[in-house]
Amino acid sequence: MNKIHICGNLYFRADSMQYILLECGQREKIDIRTKQGTGEVGDYETILGYYGSLSALMKSARGYVIRQEIIDGSVTTLDEILTAINKQDEWLNRFNV
């Protein structure tokens, strides 16, 4: 299936019934028996949610982006968080979402 990039490691795809929000990237593979890393890097794809509309998917993606910015430390104050939210809202408004 075709994946469409949103930003960072967030993507989405669609089927005939819904939009699917994905987190995609690379990480170390884990041996199932030993539960230890193998040293080999592999691609992963995690489903973050299913949505009935594109606007609902984009609003949810905004939440993931803001949360990741907090985790990464790129926003550290409430003012910076509000600025990031406003920036995301402006971006969403470009798509009438």
What pLDDT score was predicted for residue 81? Answer: 87
Positive or negative, the CA dihedral 29, 33, 36, 40 is negative
pLDDT of 74-96, one tens digit each? 888 999 888 888 888 887 777 66
Residue 88 has phi, psi (to 5 degrees) of -65, -40
pTM flag (> 0.85)? no
* 73-96 burial code (b ≥16 CB/10 A, e <16): eebeeeeeeeebbeebeeeeeeee
Residue type, 60: S
What is the predicted pLDDT for the residue at 96?
Answer: 64
Q: Identify the DSSP state of 31.
A: -
Q: What is the mean pLDDT of residues 18-39?
A: 90
In terms of residue numbers, what domain contains 9?
Answer: 4-93
The pLDDT of residue 84 is 84
**41-87 residue pLDDT tens:** 888 899 999 999 988 998 899 888 888 888 989 888 999 888 888 88
